[in-house]
Amino acid sequence: MTDLNKNEASDQTELLRLLEEARPIVISMFPDQRRKWVSESSLAQEISDILARHPEYYGQISALNDDLFSEFKAGRKSAGAGD
């Protein structure tokens, strides 16, 4: 396995760990609270950083968490809208 593949596997493993850590925090939040959490939380920032490097992982968020982390996708669309 090349270093690049190791880094990608590491990022994917880290993303899954962070999502599992975040799940109990955001599961009881209303959508507006989740949006605030995504914009202010260091844990959310770590998730966003990985997703910025690996946009192909957005599908995993949907598959694992339904709409629980839809704010990450919404933030990605907003960020890309001005490009």
At 73, the pLDDT band (50, 70, 90 cuts) reads: low
Whole-number Cα distances in Å, 24 to 40, 65, 77, 83: 17, 11, 25, 34
Pairwise pLDDT comparison (44 vs 80), residue with the higher score: 44
Helices (H), ranges, 1-83? 3-26, 31-40, 42-53, 58-65, 70-81
Please check the confidence at residue 74 and state whether its pLDDT lies above 90.
Answer: no
Q: Which amino acid is at 42?
A: S
> pTM for the whole thing?
0.72
Q: How far apart are CA 12 and CA 63, in angstroms?
A: 14
Q: How far apart are CA 83 and CA 73, in angstroms?
A: 16
Each residue's pLDDT tens digit, 43-59: 999 998 998 999 888 87
At 27, the pLDDT band (50, 70, 90 cuts) reads: confident
